[in-house]
Amino acid sequence: MGMRSVQKTIESRIECSGIGLHTGKEVFLSLNPLPPDSGIWFRRVDLPHKPYIKAAAENVTQTSLCTTLGNNGSGVSTVEHLMSAFAGLGIHNILVEVDAPEIPIFDGSAQHFVELIEKAGLKKQRASTEVFSLDERFSVSQEEKKITYYPNKELIVSFTIDFDHPLLRKQEYTFRFSEDGFVEEISRARTFGFLKDVEAMKKCGYARGGSLENAVVIDEDGVLNPEGLRYPNEFVRHKILDFLGDLYLYGMPVRGHFVVYKSGHTLNNQLIKALKNGKRKKHDSISAIQKPVQDFLSNSPEFKIFSA
């Protein structure tokens, strides 16, 4: 504890649309600035009462193939790439409006979200937030998967993947966090999957919008995408992208060295809950982060667009 970070939002509202990876349907999305101490919120504008969902680990309802946030029956899935962009650019206060149960996939990375945020403009706010860190090592594990935390004043992620495929066997990468480094080293890494799994996933209701335009697809011989890979180790970089997005559901910046072996969304979420509720330090986040975001919207003239 003790470190602090300047809070940021975006300068102005910005909109986009794209296909949902799992639903295969067109999704309209907007990003909207929020005042200091608001936090990150999602809003399902297609549902009655347009419910709000706070971006927080305790609101994670599903972690199979993606991270889903939910509240009182409403939900938004595939939030990890957008959350990673927020983490990478240091966005603390923002409202995401979406008219579908899923965030658009775009090219399968966080690059489009980074460009969208940069186009809207980054805005430093006259407030700071505490940066969370611990002073002792601890681990969480699930079968062979494991995440170990080591105290560090920086955020460092050392990730190892190990799949039964020549291209993905024992791929390792260490990322020392910086905003510029995130944009250059991590944000462009795309999600990936195996061709043999695609039909089974579609039968189960997943990947209906999946294509070579929004994922790296691998068969027995190699990568099917004609353009090839963006990085020689794009697969492990994407896992770091996912990890950073899931970690940002803590609700504030986190510092430490995370050594990660074969983790996915489920274990990532268990890690955050361990940080929040575990036997180490209990920490109360910014008091205003717990207030309904409606409090801010109703009292601020710049949010008249949400009054309907």
Catalytic residue set: 265
What one-letter code names the amino acid at 27? Answer: V
Burial of 232 (0-12, 13-18, 19+ CB in 10 A): exposed
Cα distance between residue 300 and residue 115, in whole Å: 27
Residue 93 · residue 35 · CB < 8 Å: yes
Measured CA to CA, the distance from residue 174 to residue 158 in angstroms comes to: 4
Torsion (CA) 116, 120, 124, 127 in degrees, nearest 10: -90
Task: Categorise residue 277: left if φ over 0, alpha if ψ from -120 to 50, beta otherwise.
Answer: alpha
Angle separating helix axes 234-247 and 80-89, nearest 10 degrees: 80
Work out whether strand 94-98 and strand 40-44 pair parallel, antiparallel, or are unpaired.
parallel
| Strand (E) or helix (H) holding 74 | strand 74-76
d(CA 182, CA 176): 9
Query: Going by C-beta distance under 8 Å and a sequence separation of 6 or more, which residues neighbour residue 228?
Result: none
Instruction: List the end-to-end C-alpha distance of the chain, in Å, as a whole number.
Output: 41
The Cβ of residue 93 has, within 10 Å, a number of other Cβ atoms equal to: 27
How crowded is residue 205: how many other Cβ atoms within 10 Å of its Cβ? 9
Extract the tokens encoding 44.
């399902």
